[in-house]
């Protein structure tokens, strides 16, 4: 089950996030953020 959250992100970061979506790398902005968070979690767990 997915839940909505609210975050504040620098404008330049949002532009890069939008580029990832425009390039077709990700379905939408939520997909980019979820991917990044999961990657961070996996990196932390392997330390």
HSE-CB for 42 with a 13 A CA cutoff = 6
Domain ranges of the chain: 11-45
0.85 exceeded by pTM: no
The answer to whether the Cα torsion of 15, 16, 17, 18 is positive or negative is positive
Q: What is the pLDDT of residues 3-36, one digit of tens each?
A: 999 999 999 999 999 999 999 999 999 999 999 9
Distance CA 42, CA 47 (A): 9
């Amino acid at each position: 089950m997915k839940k909505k959250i609210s975050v504040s992100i620098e404008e330049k970061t949002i532009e890069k996030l939008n580029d990832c979506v425009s390039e077709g790398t990700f379905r939408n902005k939520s997909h980019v953020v979820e991917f990044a968070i999961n990657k961070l979690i996996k990196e932390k767990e392997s330390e």
